[in-house]
Chains A and B, each alone.
Chain A
Amino acid sequence: MLNAIAFGVLGFALLLGAVNAVTAGNVVHAAFWLLECACASAGFIWFLGAEYIAIIQLLVYAGAVGILVIFTVMVTHRSYEDAERQVRVAWLPLVFAAALFGLLAYGILTNQTLASMTSAADSLTIAEFGRQMFSPDGWTLAFEIASLVLTVGLIAAVWWTRDTDTDADGSTPADTQGGDA
């Protein structure tokens, strides 16, 4: 019962954060909503018993990526008014996102091995973790690929905060869109 309540609260927080991160008119607010999202999903992962992934979620997403995004916003905006942006609905990405969600949901719900998997995280000690992380048939490659997330975060932050208003020379947002990103 209480687990269900916690699940509901975390789910609500996650959805609220996601929706607001996309629709907030102020980029700094959007960055904070994104952080809220990261913390809520860390809570979710913790609830599922994968304690290590939850810590990484908190350290990497809430700590590093969050601070990186905020830092980029800070150094690219000179005044508070700069942080305001226009929110436009882009239908094509929406369709893509919905399709991806449908695909993932279908994959997860129909996969019997995934559904019956249990977490071994409770017994994970630091030595065991090191062995899994750095053995050749372990997670080394996946971890290295995942560490690209900081670069992706930086690029996303630059794109996100780019100047979409009309420039001094009178060019429209469409002219500058490619160059700035």
Chain B
Amino acid sequence: MAMWLKALLFALVGIVVMLVNGAFIIYMLRKVLGHAHLRLGPTELGPAGLAQLIPDILKLLTKEDRHPNQTDKWLYCLAPIIVFVPSLTAFAFIPYGEKLVAANPNLGLLMMIAFLSVVPIGIFAAGWASRNKYALIGAMRSVGGAISYEIPLLLAALAPVMLSGSANLSDIVHAQAGGIWYILPCLPSAVIFFLCAQMETNQTPFDMAEAEGELVAGFSTEYSAMRFGFMYLSEFAGNFTMAALIATLFLGGWTLPGVDPATMGVFGPVVLVLKTYLVIFCFMMVRGNFSRYRVDQYAALGWKKLIPITLGWTLLLAVILKVLQMVGLWGGWS
């Protein structure tokens, strides 16, 4: 019984964190993108325009829930849920501290990516059920993107696994606390993971599924009010989860260099959240500074560049590690 209560508590905390994160990212989008475009963003309501969030959220909640009558009823209503649930579930695998982790299986990294791979199916369901050609094109692009970018994403995530000898996210954090952050020895993997994370979460230079210049709003064209809000909430949740995964794999997770992990205590989650928002800030800077890819460039980048590069680099890293181990410069795994 206690186990179930704990699971319920974690789910509740997860939902609250996702809601707060959604509000925070809306504010960040307005401010960070604003300054990147030499605008100020909201300034009138509250200190530094912070209270602008309240009308933003009220607008989403009180808008009319329009339901186009040509849609595929069941799938149309189900799609925002299919998108939201895996984003929330993947969130459970991130370690926030020594004991602060909802689920800590040995193959946590793989499991988390398995859950995230379900998200494009929800996006596809939304686009198909909308009975709108723009939505359908967006949905197909999202599925095509999922096929091309999950391979380099997984391959890039292999580098920290090779260095730490474990696919358990807590072990990866501990291995980094004892040595160096993995962004240094495997920078190419970190860069590729960063790129694929942006593609996976539909961030602007790679947001083929919604490309508003071409497809109105892509898969979410026919959604309004809170259903639309849900789509966006899960996009922001995906942002947070991916950024937290990058922080965990390459930036030392909840630990700090030179600080004993045992003494981190309550600062663990604070450190991780700060690192996560730093990564999200980088996502937004990319978003503000690069123009959107064309759909053929997007596919070519995945298949012709990222997959061969990650394959080659992962092989090279494995050979280097083996040689270093044989020479005795690297301790390897126990």
Contact = CB atoms under 8 A, between A and B. Distances in A.
A32 interface: yes
B121 A126 contact: no
A124 interface: yes
Interface string B145-188: 01100100000000001000111100000000000000000000
B166 A125 contact: yes
Given A74-B140, A127-B333, A129-B107, 20 more contacts: A29-B75, A51-B105, A51-B107, A55-B111, A58-B115, A59-B113, A59-B117, A62-B118, A63-B118, A66-B121, A67-B121, A67-B147, A71-B147, A74-B143, A124-B107, A125-B106, A125-B167, A126-B165, A126-B167, A127-B165
Interface string A36-69: 0001000000000001100100110011001100
A66 B122 CA distance: 12
Interface stretch (B124-132, B246-254, B271-279): B124-132
A55 B121 contact: no
A7 to B, nearest CB: 14
Interface in A107-127: 122-127
Nearest to B140: A74
Interface string A85-105: 000000000000000000000
A28 B161 CA distance: 37
Contact of B107 (A52, A62, A67): A52
Interface residues of B, number: 31
B114 A126 contact: no
Interface in B91-136: 105-107, 110-111, 113-115, 117-118, 120-121, 124-125, 128, 131
A63 B146 CA distance: 9
Nearest to B146: A67
A32 B110 CA distance: 23
26 contacts: A2-B1, A2-B4, A28-B128, A32-B125, A51-B107, A55-B107, A58-B115, A58-B117, A58-B118, A59-B110, A59-B113, A59-B117, A62-B117, A62-B121, A63-B114, A63-B150, A66-B121, A67-B120, A70-B121, A71-B143, A123-B106, A124-B107, A126-B107, A126-B161, A127-B166, A129-B107
A124 B131 contact: no
Interface of A: 2, 28-29, 32, 35, 39, 51-52, 55, 58-59, 62-63, 66-67, 70-71, 74, 80, 122-127, 129
Given A67-B143, A80-B131, A55 B114 contact: yes
Contacts of B125: 32
Contact of A51 (B4, B111, B118): B111
Nearest to A51: B105
Contacts of A32: 75, 125
Interface of B: 1, 4, 75, 105-107, 110-111, 113-115, 117-118, 120-121, 124-125, 128, 131, 140, 143-144, 146-147, 150, 161, 165-168, 333
B300 to A, nearest CB: 19
User: Which 10 A-B pairs give the minimum distances between C-beta atoms?
Assistant: A63-B117, A58-B114, A126-B167, A59-B114, A55-B114, A55-B111, A55-B110, A125-B106, A51-B105, A67-B143
Interface centre among B1, B128, B333 (most CB of A within 10 A): B128
Nearest to A63: B117
A66 B120 CA distance: 11
A52 B110 CA distance: 9
A107 B262 CA distance: 52
Contact of B166 (A58, A123, A126): A126
A32 B333 CA distance: 42
Contact of B143 (A28, A70, A127): A70
Nearest to B139: A74
Contacts of B147: 67, 71
Contacts of B131: 80
A70 B124 contact: yes
Contacts of A70: 121, 124, 143
Contacts of A122: 106
Contacts of A126: 106-107, 161, 165-167
B106 A124 contact: yes
Q: Which of A2, A39, A70 has the most CB of B within 10 A?
A: A70
Contacts of A28: 128
A181 to B, nearest CB: 24
Contacts of B146: 67
